[in-house]
Structure 1
């Protein structure tokens, strides 16, 4: 069974967030699960030269895009046992950043069309499954069904589409339907892409794909409701029979306090007290906080956006800092939150530090030094920060939504079970009460706290289980397709 995994970013080539983590980890896990999986992504200019220099050109051809015919090169590179294909076009991809350009819709449409055109130029590899990810690949199933079914073998391809974050849908003016997509006269496409005066790339994928998945089981349930569905809940309810949620994993070899080169001391579950104490003192010193490892250190490692529940934190921040704690924030995002945390640091410099930056090395140090991670998200399709924190023995405090509900088991003091703390309602003081409960266990029930930390560190967040579920989904699809054909 051959799978082509289409995604716009993949670590270590290009990564702007969690999507890059998935693109860099899941294809390898799928190969280990027994599928012949290869990945395809755009050749963005920010890919390091050490990878570009190793790429081998397989083909050069033109891609039809509306009235345009655009150059396309396909290049190949094997990294960590996985074959990656790169779509080359300097007009669309030779730019400083991955996203944020005025012609974003055209760039993405070109990538989707180029993926389908490239299938005729991949020696010895024609996929049974196209696995597409987020709105950047949303037009692949649309183009496949509307423009490529007459080509040999294309009719037997099945499409899996994964929603990583429904908030981002690829919304563009309806004029693109004719000018860029060449689908204005295709009634079925217009009916399913259009809503009002705009078209939605992700909407198209939801209507045209054979299977829909999200990155956690709870999120797959939530998006069928108006509150979480971002205007697409009716489609998810209508297609609920082909919708499922598979929890993301993390690269447990890379995300590990045992081998992390950025830590002042490495450690594992057996000696986490020594390791976390040493890393806390180191971070406290560098941040200018009082160097007492007995003071609970709470951290936020996040994009600073509304999604992450930061309004809840700001609502209780002054009350929280009345407790005997220290708080450190790491991340960048909306100016509203950046400025609020900077202001708090000015008011409480002995207890609060705001590191308004994106710094992977500092992220590792925060996870290793902290006692608790605050992640009270308004919505969270999966979330990776809570998984990373638990690997480093930092106990997550989360709201019960999406992947947070699926990955964090609430502490039960009567049964001595659980690996974190959680609350249900989007309410600032419910968050505060949950934090105070965690602080009580940390300060007054040391044995329970240490057992909780060990359970968190020993939890299996590897990609193995997720990859096996995807492999099972692929096999089911291929079998059904063969029966039909």
Structure 2
């Protein structure tokens, strides 16, 4: 079976968030399971030269974008056993950033059309076009609008995965004729119309053959108004075609036994993990003490991540007998909050307002507890990395956090972390306090750690679920 992933980013080429980790790791596992999976991405300026210099040109073509005809070069690179295609157009992608440009509607309409136009040139006819998030949501729409009845495309089926419903690609009506080249038949409640605008995400939800989300809980949550971002009605209508499949992490990449970023490599060794803690304390200027519990936050600093809860009780948290390390960038109010806390209490908290992958790995390896109190979380990767590195997660029960972290039960000894249900700062504070109490009971904390190390956060089971979904589509 032949599968083409279409996405806006993939590790290690370009990464702004968890989407890149999925696209960079899931195809590898699918290939191990016998599928022919390839990936198509934009060729951004920010892709490092060590990759671009090894790409080879496979095709050149002209891509329609509304009334325009734009050049596309297709370059190929095999990396880690996966074939990647890169759509080369300097007008759209030779920019310093990845997202947020004034012409995003045109950028990703071009990319989506280039995906479809390039396939005959490449001689690769996928059975499944698997599109990810709003940047490629127009692929199923274009397939229906412009290629219906064409022999090359007739047997292709589409899967659309929602990684984060909050980001939808909403643009003015003028995009419909000018950029998408579609008529007003698509500007309806059952089409791309969205409160007078055009919504790319909605197009993917309506026109793809099957929908998936990145966790079973999130698949249920987004059918409710609170989580549905004004698309809950569309999602309820397509509930029978929607499947929640939990993300995983690449166990080769995230491996404390071989991770080159760590001070000391280890495998289920509390003593060596404590050495990582002492080294991190020394690097960040915290008092060195193996026995003091270290809580980590490695996150985009945004309200979605529950940081308004942390803001409400930060002083109470700093009064507890523990240390805290915060790593990430994001909204200015949270960056300022953590910087000021670190200036006030340098013995208790270190604030690293930066994006540093190597430091992030060292923080996971050093931390005893990992705090992720998200307001909503489609899947989440931080809690999985924490489990892999032996940092016990403290999370709110939402989305993928609910599906991957089970609260520790003192009576049965079951559970791999600590959880709270209500989006409430004092519920979070109580749960942090509970985790610290368990930490001070070595036998109990060892049980939580052991349960976490048994948790399977790899891709094998999830890839099998996608495989089954593809089989159902193709045989249907």
Q: Report the TM-score when normalising by structure 2.
A: 0.98
Offset of 1:185 from its aligned partner?
A: 4.0
Maintained 8 Å contact 1:376/1:399: yes
Residues 1:291 and 2:292 are matched in the alignment: no
Q: Distance in 2 between matches of 1:49 and 1:288?
A: 35
Q: Distance in 2 between matches of 1:423 and 1:106?
A: 42
What residue number does 1:87 align with? 87
Maintained 8 Å contact 2:67/2:178: yes
Q: Distance in 2 between matches of 1:193 and 1:151?
A: 23
Residues 1:465 and 2:461 are matched in the alignment: yes
Residues 1:422 and 2:407 are matched in the alignment: no
Q: How many residues align?
A: 476
What residue number does 1:242 align with? 241
Offset of 1:73 from its aligned partner?
A: 0.9
Q: Distance in 2 between matches of 1:128 and 1:141?
A: 13
What residue number does 1:448 align with? 444
Offset of 1:318 from its aligned partner?
A: 0.6
Residues 1:50 and 2:50 are matched in the alignment: yes
Offset of 1:17 from its aligned partner?
A: 1.1
Distance change (3 Å), C-alpha of 1:9 and 1:343: same
SS in 1 for 2:183: coil
Q: Distance in 1 between matches of 2:146 and 2:184?
A: 12
Maintained 8 Å contact 2:186/2:192: no
SS in 1 for 2:191: helix
Offset of 1:187 from its aligned partner?
A: 4.1
Measured against aligned partners, the alpha-carbon deviations of 1:340-371 in whole angstroms (never above 9, x if no partner) come to 11111122111111110000011011101111
How does 1:371-410 map onto structure 2 within 5 Å?
371-410=368-407
How does 1:227-266 map onto structure 2 within 5 Å?
227-266=226-265
What residue number does 1:221 align with? 220
Offset of 1:16 from its aligned partner?
A: 1.1
What residue number does 2:305 align with? 308
Distance change (3 Å), C-alpha of 1:363 and 1:462: same
Q: Which runs of 5+ in 2 are unaligned?
A: none
What residue number does 1:72 align with? 72
Q: Distance in 2 between matches of 1:187 and 1:212?
A: 20
Q: Which shows bigger deviation, 22-31 or 186-195?
A: 186-195
What residue number does 2:276 align with? 279
Maintained 8 Å contact 1:64/1:70: yes
Offset of 1:197 from its aligned partner?
A: 2.3
Q: Distance in 1 between matches of 2:419 and 2:456?
A: 19
Q: Which shows bigger deviation, 198-207 or 445-454?
A: 445-454
How does 1:108-127 map onto structure 2 within 5 Å?
108-123=108-123, 125-127=124-126
What residue number does 1:142 align with? 141
RMSD: 1.1
What residue number does 1:30 align with? 30
SS in 1 for 2:171: strand
SS in 2 for 1:180: helix
Offset of 1:29 from its aligned partner?
A: 1.1
What residue number does 2:200 align with? 201
Distance change (3 Å), C-alpha of 1:158 and 1:254: same
Maintained 8 Å contact 2:295/2:371: yes
SS in 2 for 1:95: coil
Measured against aligned partners, the alpha-carbon deviations of 1:169-190 in whole angstroms (never above 9, x if no partner) come to 0011110001101102434778
Maintained 8 Å contact 1:146/1:189: no
Offset of 1:153 from its aligned partner?
A: 2.6
Offset of 1:458 from its aligned partner?
A: 3.0
Maintained 8 Å contact 2:187/2:193: no
Q: Distance in 2 between matches of 1:23 and 1:353?
A: 32
Q: Distance in 2 between matches of 1:261 and 1:206?
A: 41
What residue number does 1:63 align with? 63
Offset of 1:196 from its aligned partner?
A: 2.3
Measured against aligned partners, the alpha-carbon deviations of 1:40-60 in whole angstroms (never above 9, x if no partner) come to 111111111121111111111
Q: Distance in 2 between matches of 1:313 and 1:196?
A: 34
Measured against aligned partners, the alpha-carbon deviations of 1:191-228 in whole angstroms (never above 9, x if no partner) come to 51012221000010000011000000000000000000
Q: Distance in 2 between matches of 1:178 and 1:462?
A: 43
How does 1:162-173 map onto structure 2 within 5 Å?
162-173=161-172
Q: Distance in 2 between matches of 1:81 and 1:20?
A: 17
Maintained 8 Å contact 1:217/1:402: yes
Distance change (3 Å), C-alpha of 1:187 and 1:217: closer
Measured against aligned partners, the alpha-carbon deviations of 1:403-436 in whole angstroms (never above 9, x if no partner) come to 0000011101100011000000000000011111
SS in 1 for 2:411: coil
Offset of 1:457 from its aligned partner?
A: 2.2
Measured against aligned partners, the alpha-carbon deviations of 1:91-116 in whole angstroms (never above 9, x if no partner) come to 10111111111011100100000001
Q: Report the TM-score when normalising by structure 1.
A: 0.97
